[in-house]
């Protein structure tokens, strides 16, 4: 059985200039892995309409789900919603359902409904809203693209809103063995193990612990019995890890 | 004057599964910004030959420099060197110069030259080596693609080896003003400012400090006088930030 596939598009000049360290990709990756959706690719693009349109068009045809992060706030550099609408040739404007959400929220907090703030109610005609319990301004899903905020607390809340509606596959199982020997010494046996157990993926991650080199071996797969069998064989190969 | 452009390819299943949090992209982004090279795009792809070949071919034609991270170690899942060679139709095998580097290093440390370790001497025919002062096994540059290790300490050392050989442009200047008002209230004046100063980029980054919403405004550009002028206008707009 093949799991559903996904890609992520992180949108923001601040990531590419190094000013901000993205954390949304790692959060989404973990959540998708647990949900049984395979994150196959991620792209970081700038706050540029052509770049966003291109990435959405390229990726939405290749994977079951696309998740975007960033660029749906109130300021002039937030152009994600308009760009995603353009990618699908959809019409976009302030939409009544999103406007009502925002107006109720602003009124309850005595906050002025500025022109900038109302930009956050710009939603493509064919999209459905994504719930934002943190700061109300919604994300949206259009076709297979889920458009979410960049602020980590809001992004994470939107992921939690979207995931239950997405059919997941078998969660990816993984087991790790720490071996206190450098990668170069475990490479040979690992290669043979990978050939013997083709239905699991065997990853090798070197580390340095207080000056001593070691290797974490991670065996991943959807079938628990296969992962177990490969781990047992690995432990037999390295009885004193 | 336009600065040289760059893209990054981060290679590794462990990033896409969420097991590992990438830090190389942020490091490279900062270094390139300082060196006057514009990082325009980054992609994370899996340890998959077709995915790596495709990303290298797609991006190397679009940008002045491509930097890759990951997949050049001794184990079976390290397939970056072979994949990059394939992307350019170049022949790859253990090369004498890389072999000598590794053999000298292994001998000096009394380490066995296993088959796995010697895989790290696989270098495409037309490539030049990238110095690795941390653990000797070299990276390489082929055409406009700089192939580097994924282990952060080694990646960072290789970036330091490569950058002095790359012609940079004017460093991107930036000034930041912290405004203790939410993004929705600064959006209007900011938009006008962005229209008045089209040769700088004005980014707006919301934050939450102990429950109070605020906004960092970052003005970026290559011309110091333009950045100064826009910042003075911003400060006049928000005299009590």
Residues in B 7-46 with any Cβ partner in A closer than 8 A? 13-23, 25-33, 39-46
Task: Among B165, B193, B225, give the residue marking a domain's end.
Answer: B165
For position B186, which CATH number holds?
A: 3.30.70
A178 in the same domain as A147: no
Q: Are residues A105 and A219 in the same domain?
A: no
CA distance A50 to B14: 30
- Residues of chain B contacting residue A29, judged by C-beta atoms under 8 Å apart: 15-18
pLDDT < 50 regions, chain B: none
Closest CA to B56 of B146, B116, B171, B136: B146
Asked if A179 is an interface residue toward chain B (Cβ–Cβ < 8 A), one would say no
Residues A111 and A71 in one domain: yes
Which residues of chain A does B188 touch, with a Cβ-Cβ cutoff of 8 Å?
A: 114-116
- B191 and A116 within 8 Å at the Cβ level: the answer is yes
Q: For residue B54, how far is the Cα from the chain centroid?
A: 18
Of the partner residues A51, A188, A206, the one whose CB lies closest to the CB of residue B151? A206
Q: What's residue A32's pLDDT?
A: 96
Residues B200 and B227 in one domain: yes
Residue of B184, B204, B207 whose CA lies nearest to B194: B204
Same-domain pairing of A104 and A193 = no
- Between residues 130 and 159 of chain B, which touch chain A (CB distance below 8 Å)? 151, 153
- Judge if B183 and B160 occupy the same domain: no
Domain co-membership, B180 together with B158: no
Residue B41: phi, psi to the nearest 5?
-165, 150
Q: Enumerate the residues of chain B whose CB falls inside 8 A of the CB of residue A188.
A: 114-116
Domain edge (last residue) among A165, A197, A218:
A165
Of A42, A119, A153, the CB nearest to B44: A42
Looking at residue B118, which CATH number applies to its domain? 3.40.980.10
Q: B140 CB contacts (<8 Å, ≥6 apart)?
A: B81, B123, B124, B127, B128, B129, B130, B146, B147
One domain for residues B27 and B138: yes
Residue range(s) defining the domain that contains residue B207? 173-237
Count of helices and strands (H, E) across chain A: 9, 11
Count of pairs with CB atoms under 8 A, one residue in A, one in B: 196
Q: Are residues B113 and B191 in the same domain?
A: no
> Residue B188 has what pLDDT?
92
Helix (H) or strand (E) holding B240: none
**pLDDT tens-digit map of A2-57:** 899 999 999 999 999 999 999 999 999 999 999 999 999 999 999 999 999 999 99
For B152-199, how does the pLDDT look when each residue is reduced to its tens digit (9 = 90+)? 999 999 999 999 999 998 888 899 999 999 998 999 999 999 999 999
- CA atoms of A146 and A138, how far apart (whole Å): 11
**What was the ipTM of the complex prediction?**
0.93
Counting the structural domains of chain B, the total is 2
DSSP string over A49-110:
HHHHHHHHHHHHTTSSEEEEES--SSSTT--HHHHHHHHTT--EEE-HHHHHHHHHHHHHHT
Domain identity same for B206 and B149: no
Smallest Cα distance from A140 to chain B, Å: 20
Q: Which of B103, B131, B165 is the last residue of a domain?
A: B165
Residues A36 and A130 in one domain: yes
For residues B118 and B205, membership in a common domain is answered with no
């Amino acid at each position: 059985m093949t799991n559903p596939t996904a890609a992520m598009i992180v949108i923001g000049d601040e990531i590419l200039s190094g000013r901000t360290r993205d954390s949304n990709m790692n959060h989404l990756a973990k959540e998708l892995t647990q949900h049984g959706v395979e994150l196959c690719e991620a792209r970081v693009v700038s706050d540029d309409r052509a770049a966003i349109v291109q990435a959405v068009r390229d990726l939405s045809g290749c994977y079951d789900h696309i998740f975007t992060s960033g660029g749906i706030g109130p300021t002039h550099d937030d152009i994600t919603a308009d760009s995603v609408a353009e990618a699908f040739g959809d019409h976009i404007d302030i939409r009544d359902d999103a406007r009502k959400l925002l107006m109720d929220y602003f009124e309850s907090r005595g906050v002025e409904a500025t022109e900038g703030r109302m930009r956050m109610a710009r939603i493509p005609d064919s999209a459905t809203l994504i719930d934002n319990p943190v700061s109300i301004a919604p994300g949206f899903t259009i076709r297979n693209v889920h458009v979410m905020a960049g602020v980590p607390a809001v992004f994470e809340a939107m992921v939690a809103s979207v995931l239950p509606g997405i059919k997941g596959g078998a969660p990816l199982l993984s087991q790790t063995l720490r071996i206190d020997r450098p990668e170069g010494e475990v490479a040979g046996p690992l290669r043979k193990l990978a050939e013997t157990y083709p239905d699991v993926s065997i990853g090798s991650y070197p580390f340095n612990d207080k000056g001593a080199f070691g290797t974490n071996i991670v065996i991943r797969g959807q079938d628990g019995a296969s992962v177990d069998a490969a781990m047992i064989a690995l432990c037999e190969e390295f009885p004193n890890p």
